[in-house]
């Protein structure tokens, strides 16, 4: 059976374009032009992923995502017409898996859909499986076969990245995930630890920087290393 993608988008031209691209790539699709029916539909049908517009007529896509998260971990890719950073960060903070800014190419969106599905299915990402090897019992990480000498927070940070290659994490989110007592005012601490982490990785492979900086947004681990 083809995996079904739910498209929640009120602009018919955009919804149709997405539908065409995804069906060409072998997905089944269903379009909703408002957010209201999404929750009942999720309960009734098996949905592999949701493409969710933020600007919907009845409910904001971010609010809808929060509601969806109370009952399902279904992957969500946001569509946003606003290119400002706040929308993007907010979109990822509340449990979205990726976002695409309008105008976008339907091919690009289809590629993102496939990438998110691969990630969620836990297919070995090259970055996660071969470049890094994680020993969670001994709290050790090896990089290209060489064991890294990491502080507690460097270890925690790198583990967060390895478990979700490609995902952009804001500084606040990293603080929450890697620190015992998150403190938003310690923002720069994340930067300092990332800097040390990069330096340690660089001693092993000076030619590669696997941690990407997303200006105004945060950091991610490079995919497909």
Q: What are the residues binding Ca ion (CB under 5 A)?
A: 10, 53, 55
Q: Which is nearer to Ca ion, 19 or 125 (CB)?
A: 19
3-state helix, strand, coil in the chain (%, to 5): 45, 20, 35
Cross-strand partners of 5: 29, 49
Rounded to the nearest whole angstrom, what is the least distance from the CB of residue 56 to Ca ion in the complex?
6
Q: How many CB atoms lie within 10 A of CB 40?
A: 9
Question: Nearest 5°: phi and psi at 123?
Answer: -60, 140
Q: Which is nearer to Ca ion, 56 or 116 (CB)?
A: 56
Rounded to the nearest whole angstrom, what is the least distance from the CB of residue 35 to Ca ion in the complex?
10
Rounded to the nearest whole angstrom, what is the least distance from the CB of residue 100 to Ca ion in the complex?
13
Q: Which is nearer to Ca ion, 55 or 95 (CB)?
A: 55
Chain mean position to CA 149: 28
Rounded to the nearest whole angstrom, what is the least distance from the CB of residue 36 to Ca ion in the complex?
14
Nearest residue to 76 via CA among 84, 37, 67, 171? 67
Rounded to the nearest whole angstrom, what is the least distance from the CB of residue 11 to Ca ion in the complex?
5
Pair 78, 56: CB distance under 8 Å: no
Q: Which is nearer to Ca ion, 59 or 148 (CB)?
A: 59
Sign of CA dihedral 74, 79, 80, 86: positive
Q: Which two tokens stand for residue 110?
A: 């289809």
Q: In the complex, which residue's CB is closest to Ca ion? A: 55
Q: Which is nearer to Ca ion, 56 or 221 (CB)?
A: 56
């Amino acid at each position: 059976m083809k995996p079904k993608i739910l498209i929640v988008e009120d602009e018919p031209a955009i919804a149709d374009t997405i539908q065409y691209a995804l069906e060409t790539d072998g997905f089944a699709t269903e379009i909703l032009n408002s957010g209201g029916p999404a929750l009942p539909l999720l309960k009734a049908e098996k949905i592999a992923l949701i493409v969710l517009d933020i600007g919907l007529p009845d409910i904001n896509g971010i609010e809808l995502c929060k509601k969806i998260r109370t009952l399902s971990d279904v992957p969500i890719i946001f569509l946003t017409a606003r290119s400002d950073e706040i929308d993007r960060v907010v979109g990822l903070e509340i449990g979205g898996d990726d976002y695409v800014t309008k105008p976008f190419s339907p091919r690009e969106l289809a590629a993102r859909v496939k990438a998110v599905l691969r990630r969620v299915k836990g297919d070995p990402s090259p970055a996660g499986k071969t470049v890094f090897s994680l020993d969670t019992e001994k709290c050790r990480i090896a990089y290209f076969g060489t064991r890294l000498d990491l502080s507690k927070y460097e270890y925690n940070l790198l583990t967060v990245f390895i478990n979700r290659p490609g995902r952009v994490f804001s500084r606040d989110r990293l603080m929450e995930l890697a620190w015992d007592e998150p403190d938003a005012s310690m923002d720069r601490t994340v930067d300092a630890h990332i800097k040390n982490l990069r330096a340690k990785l660089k001693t092993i492979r000076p030619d590669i920087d696997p941690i990407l900086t997303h200006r105004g947004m945060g950091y991610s681990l490079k995919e497909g290393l």
